[in-house]
Amino acid sequence: MPTDTSFGKVRNFDDFCRKALDSTNLWNVRTAGGTTPAITLAANGLVRIVGDGTDGDIDQLNDMVIYRPSAGGLIVEWRCIFRTSIADGEWFIGLTDEDAAETPIQVSTADAQTDAATDGAGFCYTGAGTANWKACSVINGTSRTPVACNQGGVTTPAVGTYQTFRIVLNVDGDADFYINGIWQARIDLAVTPGTLLAPSIGQQTGGTARGFDADYRYVGCGRV
């Protein structure tokens, strides 16, 4: 923690309880044929991401690429809910190293990992694949081994049920993954610790129109 200030952590909590996302100064929204991610005036405010059903289309919400684990650790938490079918398509909830129209990390139906990001960490789910969310990361272009998140029971998403996803990165770039407050996995050397990262969620649509919501995003990072 810096010695010149009592505010040694950068913290930001976005509860999406307003009329619109600030896509000029804070949030970056990406869509490919679907509905641009936007705040919907549901109870307490939500960001809604809706795909149009064109296979391979990517819809994404990215924060600013300004947070690095080596600054004293990095925590990101998302609370999300699926509103429609999860039978197909791919989802990512976590952090990535750039603001781009991509699914940063994906797992195949057989849990083989592919990466669009060079550095990133998060939870991946493939609707046509195996049960449970997978804890995944990529460090300097090298995939780490996905880990099934099944501590405390099955974590497969269900339509209409909220889940909370937390990633804790230490100064060495090691990551701990939590779902609903329960520790799920540890990936050592998950990301390059000095690389700037952005909280990110997104989906790659399968052959059916589908969507999910984000209730909030929290990020906390060392200031140095």
Work out the pLDDT band at 159, boundaries 50, 70, 90. Answer: very high
Residue 214's CB: how many other CB atoms inside 10 A?
21
Q: 3 pLDDT band (50/70/90 cuts)?
A: low
Find the CATH number of the domain harbouring 211: 2.60.120.200
Q: Residue 113: its pLDDT value, please? A: 97
pLDDT over 80 (residue 33): no
Give a yes or no: residue 4 inside a domain.
no
Residue 7 lies in a domain: no
CA 150, 143, 221, 65 dihedral sign is negative
Look at the block and give the residue holding tokens 């924060």.
63
Q: Which residue has the tokens 């990406």?
A: 30
Q: In the chain, how many domains are there?
A: 1
pLDDT at 43 (0 to 100)? 84
pLDDT digits (tens, 9 = 90+) for 160-194: 999 999 999 999 999 999 999 999 999 999 999 99
Is 101 a member of any domain? yes
Is 16 among the domain residues?
yes
Share of the chain above pLDDT 90, in %: 77
**pLDDT level of residue 18 (50, 70, 90 thresholds):** very high
CA dihedral angle for residue 2, residue 224, residue 123, residue 42, rounded to 10 degrees? 80
- Is 105 domain-assigned? yes
Residue 21 belongs to a domain: yes
pLDDT tens, position by position, 56-99: 889 999 999 999 999 999 999 999 999 988 888 899 999 999 98
In a domain, 1, yes or no: no
Residue 125 resides in a domain: yes
Q: Which domain holds residue 37?
A: 12-222
CB atoms inside a 10 Å sphere around CB 85 = 14
Give the type of residue at 120.
G
Provide mean pLDDT across the span 129-147.
Answer: 98
pTM: 0.95
pLDDT band with cut points at 50, 70 and 90 for residue 151: very high
Q: What digits encode the pLDDT tens for the residues 188-211?
A: 999 999 999 999 999 988 777 788
